A and B are shown apart, each in its own frame.
Chain A
């Protein structure tokens, strides 16, 4: 697993479940969840370095599943073994799944009502805030003049084009990196 050489404090299954449950309560899709996990695992508990979480997320983007599914499996396995993968996945899914099912049952009442309008005007922009914060925090090590930053800019512009596959953008970034960015990245000065 990425960066596995460093010893890490282990978590109980209960703690892991709680962290991913909080992550699963985040709005804004996978990046919102990632933002919450970053706050818990990297900033507050210092269990994972941000670089490792970002690497796991990057590899997760290449998996034929939801990216955060792969991240939950990887982090759960890393911290609590196979049971951790199951605990992390269930914890991350339960909040959203419950909401989705309740709102699907209420389809007849809500489909043409004002509730979704309220959500679109309030929760989505707030979720966007979380996505931006998450992106800025995880990208911080790359914010210096370097070829890596050029990669960030190019892939960002390409990925913003509609119908471009995100998995292809990331894979192309990896292949180009193997050619032009050989070797480890220089650590940013604190």
Chain B
């Protein structure tokens, strides 16, 4: 697969899936793995990197781009998935013109409420995947305690709790 074909593939899949990361993942797996361009272990490794590294999950596409065309492929993949984000500017401009209309206000209220519901659904899904044993539960509880009770910032809370988890896992591996 050439770099151009790869970029066209992720651009089209991104538009088709309308920001639904899972749908893009399924489409890409079909195209790249079933098309014998990447091995399933390479593809899953790239996807796992997106989950365990900081930032947006779709950065896994940089890993896929790197596997296909080196650093140029990685950079091109990142640029390709960022550009459609600029569509938000004309959308917000249009929103400004009609935002005083009652139906539009209701639309935004419904949109916002559904987004909040979606956030909790995402948290639930991540929880099902991440909270699979004692240490993950301890780390999760420690994160909340550091942020809410000790009033540390989010980053400090996360790093502190993750550090505790590493120490616990290491200690348990010695027993």
B1-48, CB < 8 A from A? 14-15, 17-23, 41-42, 45-46, 48
B-contacting residues, A77-115, CB 8 Å = 77, 85, 89, 92-93, 95-97, 99-101, 103-105, 107, 110-111
B162: chain A residues at CB < 8 Å are: 122-123, 126
Instruction: List residues 129-158 of chain A with CB under 8 A from any CB of chain B.
Output: 129-135, 138-139, 142, 148-149, 151-158
Q: Is the CB of A131 within 8 A of B48?
A: no
Contacts of A68 in B (CB 8 A): 56
Task: Contacts A99-B53, A124-B129 given; indicate if A65 touches B81 (C-beta within 8 A).
Answer: yes
B119: which of A51, A72, A139, A158 is its contact (CB, 8 Å)?
A: A139
Q: Which chain A residue shows the least CB distance to B173?
A: A114
1/0 contact string of A32-70 vs chain B (CB within 8 Å) = 110110010000000000010011111111111111111
The verdict on A59 contacting B84 (CB below 8 Å), with A104-B66, A126-B161, A142-B113 known, is no
Q: Taking A33-B55, A118-B166, A173-B111 as contacts, is the C-beta distance between A128 and B131 under 8 angstroms?
A: yes
User: Does any Cβ of B come within 8 Å of A167's Cβ?
Assistant: yes
The one of B19, B102, B127, B161 in contact with A167, judged by C-beta atoms closer than 8 angstroms, is B19
CA distance A44 to B113 in the complex (A): 24
Q: Mark B67-106, 1 if CB is under 8 A from A, else 0.
A: 1000100100010011111111101110110010011111
Contact of A62 with B106 in the complex, beta carbons under 8 Å: no
Chain A residues near B88 (CB, 8 Å)? 56, 59-60, 63, 70-71, 73-74
Instruction: Tell me the interface secondary structure of chain A in the complex.
Output: helix
Given contacts A128-B127, A167-B19, contact A66 B56 (CB under 8 A): yes
Query: How far apart sit A180 and B64, CA to CA, in the bound complex (Å)?
Result: 44
Inter-chain contact A159/B154, CB cutoff 8 Å: no
Give the distance in Å from the alpha carbon of A142 to the alpha carbon of B123 in the complex: 18
Which residues of chain B are within 8 angstroms of A74 by Cβ–Cβ distance? 88-89, 92
The contact of B123 among A26, A56, A132, by CB within 8 Å, is: A132
Contact A163–B19 (Cβ < 8 Å): no
- Say how far A165's CB is from chain B's closest CB, in angstroms: 5
Report how far A24 CA is from B88 CA in the complex, Å: 20
Closest Cβ of chain A: how far from B154's Cβ, in Å?
5
Asked if A25 is at the interface of the complex by the 8 Å CB criterion, the answer is yes
Contact between chains at A135 and B55 (CB < 8 Å): no
Instruction: Name the one of B91, B144, B154 contacting A63, with C-beta atoms under 8 angstroms.
Output: B91
Q: A22-B155, A133-B154 are in contact. Are A151 and B117 (CB under 8 A)?
A: yes
Complex Cα spacing A68 to B54, Å:
13
Taking CB atoms, residues of chain B closer than 8 Å to A95 are 54-55
Instruction: Report the bound CA distance from A60 to B115 in whole Å.
Output: 10
Contact in complex: A63, B87 (CB < 8 Å): yes
Give the residue name and chain of the B residue nearest to A30 (CB). B56
Q: Please indicate the chain B residues that have their CB under 8 angstroms from the CB of A119 in the complex.
A: 52
What are 19 A-B contacts defined by CB distance under 8 Å? Answer: A1-B92, A56-B92, A65-B81, A85-B89, A95-B55, A96-B55, A97-B55, A100-B62, A118-B169, A125-B139, A125-B143, A128-B130, A129-B140, A129-B143, A153-B117, A173-B117, A176-B110, A177-B109, A180-B106
